[in-house]
Chains A and B, each alone.
Chain A
C-alpha cells in the first residue's frame, strides 16, 4: 500500500460492505495483511493476499494471513478463472504499471472486483496544483520524485475508463476523512471505493 496508515484503514469498512459473509477473497498488494485479517474477523472470509515485499510477507505470517509472494505486474497466472468471489485491489491501482491488465486479471480470477484509490480530483490536490506544486497529503504522502504512484487518476477519470472498457461499476463509495461523501464526490472525496463486475 502506498499511502499513510491512517488512510489505509478508512476504506476497510467501505470494502467490507460489499463482501458477503464467508466469501473467498483475493487481496492484491495486501501489505501486512491487515485488510484480509479485518475481513476474516468481520466477514468470516477465506482467501489469500498477494504481496511482493519480504517485510510484508513476514507481517502477513505474523498476522495469521495466508499470503502468496508474487509480482502483480506479472499477472495472476497462479490463479484459476473465477476462483474467487471478490478480488480486491486496495490503494494499489495507482502504483500499477499496467492498469487495464490488472483490472482484466481481477475479473478473470474473480466474479467481482473491488478497487480503492486516492482521488486526485480532491480539492486539496487541485489547490496544490493551482499553486504550481504536486500534491503531498495524507492520502498522497510522497514527493513527486519518490512516489510509487505512477497512475494517479480522479473519480471522473476512473469512471470514464471503466465505461470505455466495458467494466460494469455496480457500487461506489467516496470517503473523506473516513466519512462518506455524497455531494460533489470528485471534488470532496479523498478516497474512492468501487465495486465492479465484467
Chain B
C-alpha cells in the first residue's frame, strides 16, 4: 500500500512534527558528570501496534538529528536524513513498523546540549556542557523508550556512529531489543580515525571566535573552524575512487588562474559543504560528537576482549560494511562479527560492494536496500503472531 502524503511524494512519511520529552531523573554520565534533567527531541513515523512490539529506534551519526524521514509543513525542502531508507514501502517500512528518530544529548537540534540553559547557573552551558559517550546516549534513549512504553524494540538501527549505539544497546540492554542493525561500524576508532577527529577539533578550538566554547555569550560562532572541521570530515566519508569520479581534476572556471581562489571542483565542493554545515550546526556539539566517537571502545573494559564485551548480546545482529569504506573498513566490521561468532550469537554479515566509501550507508544502493528490506521482513514475520 502506498499512502498518499501531503506533498504527494510516493513512499514518504509526509509532513512530520518533532516532539519533546522531558526527563527529571538525573543521568549519570561516564565522565562522572550528572545531568540533573534533560530534554530529548524525537520524531515518530508509523503506528505502534497493540502489542507494542513493532518499534524501531533509528540512531543518528555525526551530523544528524531526530529528523530521519519525511518533511516539515513549513520546510518542504527539509527532508529527513535517511528518507531513502524509511517510509511506506521502503526497506524500513513505516506501514509495518513504528519508527523513532531521536536527537541525542549534547546535540544542537533541540535535545539538551551545549546551547541549552545550565540549570545551575541560569546561563547557556556553552563550553561547560559535559563530555558525553555512546553509552550515555543509549542510557538516555532507554528513558525515552520507557516514556513511550516500549519494553522491547523490534530493532535498533544505525550507520557509523549510529551503529555504535545500535551495538551498545545490544550489550548494555540485551533484553530490550530483538535485533541490532549495525551498518558501517567499527569496534573502536583507529589512531588514524582519532587523528582526523583531532584535526577537526583543533580547527574549531583555535578559531578566535571559539572563546573556550562560550562563544554564544560573545554573540559570535567559530564558523571558520567548524567549516574546516567539516571539510576534513567530508574527505574521510568519500572513497578516493568516488572523489575521482565525481570531481577528478575538473576545474571550477575552465582554466587555471594561479591564485588561492577555488581552482578545482573538489575545493569548491568542500567549501560548499563546509559553509552549509557551519550555518546549521553547533561547534560545541561537533566537538563533543567527535569525542563520543573517540571514546567508544567496548572491549577496553574487558582487557581488549571484544567477545567478552559482546557476551551479553541476545539480539540478532545484522552487520553490514561497504568495500570502499576506508574510514570504518570491512575488516573492522569483521572484528565485530568474529566476536559475535565466538559467542555463538545470531549474526549475519554482508559486505556490500559499493563505490561510495563510508557515505554509502546513506545512499541508494539496490543490493544494500534489498538486504535491509529482507532483514526487516524477517523481523516482521518474527513479531507477527
Residues of A that sit less than 8 Å from B by CB: 24, 46, 48, 54, 57-58, 60-62, 64, 66-70, 78-80, 83
B334: which of A46, A58, A78, A83 is its contact (CB, 8 Å)?
A78
Q: How far is the CA of A66 from the CA of B344 in the complex (A)?
A: 11
With a CB–CB cut-off of 8 A, which chain A residues contact B348?
Answer: 57, 60-61, 66-68
B249 interface residue per 8 A CB criterion: no
Minimum CB–CB distance from B324 to chain A (whole Å) comes to 15
CB distance B350 to A57 under 8 Å?
yes
CB distance B378 to A64 under 8 Å?
yes
Q: How far is the CA of A24 from the CA of B344 in the complex (A)?
A: 9
Main secondary structure, interface of A, reads mixed
CB distance A68 to B349 under 8 Å?
yes
CB distance A62 to B377 under 8 Å?
yes
CB distance B349 to A67 under 8 Å?
yes
Q: Encode contact with A along B293-332: 1 for CB under 8 Å, 0 otherwise.
A: 0000000000000000000000010000000000000000
* Closest A residue to B320 using CB positions: A69
A54: which of B347, B367, B381 is its contact (CB, 8 Å)?
B367
Number of interface residues of B (CB under 8 A): 23
CB distance A68 to B337 under 8 Å?
yes
Q: Encode contact with A along B358-385: 1 for CB under 8 Å, 0 otherwise.
A: 0000000001001100110110010000
B341 interface residue per 8 A CB criterion: yes
CB distance A46 to B344 under 8 Å?
yes
Q: How far is the CA of A80 from the CA of B306 in the complex (A)?
A: 14
B351 interface residue per 8 A CB criterion: yes
Given A68-B341, A78-B334, A78-B337, also A61-B374 (CB < 8 A): yes
Minimum CB–CB distance from B319 to chain A (whole Å) comes to 9
Given A48-B341, A78-B337, also A61-B347 (CB < 8 A): no
With a CB–CB cut-off of 8 A, which chain B residues contact A70?
Answer: 349, 351
B246 interface residue per 8 A CB criterion: no
Main secondary structure, interface of B, reads helix
B190 interface residue per 8 A CB criterion: no
Task: Enumerate 10 A-B pairs (CB-CB under 8 Å) in ascending A order.
Answer: A48-B347, A54-B353, A58-B374, A61-B374, A62-B374, A62-B378, A67-B349, A69-B351, A80-B341, A83-B341
* Closest A residue to B371 using CB positions: A58
Q: Encode contact with A along B67-83: 1 for CB under 8 Å, 0 otherwise.
A: 00000000000000000
With a CB–CB cut-off of 8 A, which chain B residues contact A61?
Answer: 348, 371, 374-375, 378
With a CB–CB cut-off of 8 A, which chain B residues contact A69?
Answer: 349-351
With a CB–CB cut-off of 8 A, which chain B residues contact A68?
Answer: 337, 341, 347-349
Q: How far is the CA of A57 from the CA of B353 in the complex (A)?
A: 13
B346 interface residue per 8 A CB criterion: yes
Minimum CB–CB distance from B79 to chain A (whole Å) comes to 27
Minimum CB–CB distance from B19 to chain A (whole Å) comes to 33
Q: How far is the CA of A118 from the CA of B180 in the complex (A)?
A: 40
Q: Encode contact with A along B172-184: 1 for CB under 8 Å, 0 otherwise.
A: 0000000000000
B37 interface residue per 8 A CB criterion: no
B123 interface residue per 8 A CB criterion: no
B30 interface residue per 8 A CB criterion: no
With a CB–CB cut-off of 8 A, which chain B residues contact A54?
Answer: 350, 352-353, 367
Minimum CB–CB distance from B181 to chain A (whole Å) comes to 12
Minimum CB–CB distance from B367 to chain A (whole Å) comes to 5
Minimum CB–CB distance from A37 to chain B (whole Å) comes to 12
Q: How far is the CA of A83 from the CA of B341 in the complex (A)?
A: 9
Q: How far is the CA of A36 from the CA of B349 in the complex (A)?
A: 16
Minimum CB–CB distance from B150 to chain A (whole Å) comes to 24
* Closest A residue to B367 using CB positions: A54
Q: How far is the CA of A70 from the CA of B381 in the complex (A)?
A: 27
With a CB–CB cut-off of 8 A, which chain B residues contact A60?
Answer: 348
B36 interface residue per 8 A CB criterion: no
Minimum CB–CB distance from B318 to chain A (whole Å) comes to 8
B212 interface residue per 8 A CB criterion: no
With a CB–CB cut-off of 8 A, which chain A residues contact B381?
Answer: 64
B276 interface residue per 8 A CB criterion: no
Q: How far is the CA of A80 from the CA of B343 in the complex (A)?
A: 11
Minimum CB–CB distance from A51 to chain B (whole Å) comes to 10
CB distance B350 to A83 under 8 Å?
no
Minimum CB–CB distance from A85 to chain B (whole Å) comes to 11
Q: How far is the CA of A83 from the CA of B307 in the complex (A)?
A: 14
B342 interface residue per 8 A CB criterion: yes
Q: How far is the CA of A54 from the CA of B374 in the complex (A)?
A: 13
Q: How far is the CA of A38 from the CA of B338 in the complex (A)?
A: 25
Q: How far is the CA of A80 from the CA of B153 in the complex (A)?
A: 31
Q: How far is the CA of A125 from the CA of B378 in the complex (A)?
A: 42
Minimum CB–CB distance from B97 to chain A (whole Å) comes to 17
Residue among B316, B349, B367 with max Cβ neighbours from chain A (10 Å): B349
